[in-house]
């Protein structure tokens, strides 16, 4: 089976940086995804990692260490619109996708 853990909630100030950690245990690994979900809306894709290292995409970066079963999503220059839930998801062999419970990020002025 698969187990994915991420913090439930984080608070940060506008303009700051926040790092959301995700740890996972999986039988077979075929990639890790991060999604953003605003309240009442569908998730939207942010990033994908399959190899170790950092992937940067504008203000968002995602890091993966397969040996440690660890990833993080880094949000820089936080804006009010970044207040949302951030979902970590792992794709196992066979393309089954398992999501973590999500981290709700609250950005304060």
Closest CB to other proteins among 13 and 98? 98
Smallest distance, other proteins to C-beta of residue 24, A = 13
Count residues binding other proteins (CB under 8 A).
22
Does residue 45 interact with other proteins by CB under 8 A? yes
* Three-state DSSP string of 16-49: CCEEEEEEEECCCCCCEEEEEECCCCCCEEEEEE
Does residue 7 interact with other proteins by CB under 8 A? no
Q: Can you tell me which of 64, 90, 102, 105 binds other proteins, judged by CB under 8 A?
A: 102
Q: Can you tell me which of 84, 87, 105, 107 binds other proteins, judged by CB under 8 A?
A: 87
User: Cα dist. 108→10, 21, 72, 80 in Å?
Assistant: 11, 20, 21, 7
Q: Which phi and psi angles does 81 have, rounded to 5°? A: -70, -10
Does residue 33 interact with other proteins by CB under 8 A? yes
Does residue 95 interact with other proteins by CB under 8 A? yes
Binding residues for other proteins (CB under 8 A)? 30-31, 33, 35, 41-45, 48, 50, 87, 89, 94-102
């Amino acid at each position: 089976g698969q187990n994915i853990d991420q913090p439930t909630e984080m608070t940060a100030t506008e303009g700051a940086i926040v790092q959301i950690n995700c740890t996972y245990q999986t039988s077979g690994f075929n990639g890790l995804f991060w999604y953003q979900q605003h309240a009442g809306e569908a998730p939207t894709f942010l990033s994908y990692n399959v190899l170790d290292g950092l992937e940067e995409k504008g203000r968002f970066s995602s890091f993966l260490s397969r040996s440690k079963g660890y990833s993080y999503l880094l949000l820089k220059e936080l804006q009010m619109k970044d207040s949302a839930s951030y979902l970590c998801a792992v794709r196992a062999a066979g393309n089954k996708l398992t999501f973590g419970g999500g981290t709700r990020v609250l950005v304060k002025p």
